[in-house]
Amino acid sequence: MPGLQHILTTLVLLTHISTATTASPIPNHTTSNPSPRPSIPITALVFDRAPGPKSCRGTLVSSITLTRPSSQHRNGTCYDMHHAAQCGVFVANKADACEARLYSMSGCPETLQEAYVTTVVFGPDRTARGGLWVSILVRCGVEIDEGRLEEEQMLLHDVFGDYVKDGGGR
């Protein structure tokens, strides 16, 4: 008596052969305007606990949503958290060119070097970003140096190996 795997393989083959011999030709409909990519809302979700393997943990501290066009946010807006945040998810279309500068003090003090934590670039992925911050300066329509981002990724990979590339999971 054949095993289940053999039966499934045979069914897949028979379906493929049947479809290949009886399928009607597919009409060639080309359009001059391919369907546009869905627009992702410009959003930052901030949580009070450190990131887990795939997402942020803890309670939502702040939810920031910006309106389009993103260029109206070029000068940036400072958002103070009610208490320290340790994780955030920063989502937007790449074309929006948004970034979040994170600070360990309220008021987004750009003149105090020791208050600056890091800069996070918004993107279409929902990757959790960790740190410890109290305020966020969100700007959009900024020029993002892709070469610098790649250089940082390579440096992180040199230090942490595939741990960074895999998003922390093995």
**Domain assignments of the chain as residue spans, ordered by start:** 42-164
Q: What is the mean pLDDT of residues 54-72?
A: 92
pLDDT of amino acid 16: 34
pLDDT band at residue 36 under the 50/70/90 scheme: low
Tokens in use for 12?
A: 């897949």
Name the E strands within the chain: 42-47, 60-66, 77-91, 99-103, 116-121, 128-139
CA distance linking residue 34 with residue 36, whole number of Å: 6
Sign of torsion over alpha carbons 5, 6, 8, 9: positive
pLDDT of amino acid 74: 93
Q: What is the pLDDT of residues 102-144, one digit of tens each?
A: 999 999 998 888 999 999 999 999 889 999 999 999 999 988 6
Q: What is the mean pLDDT of the chain?
A: 77
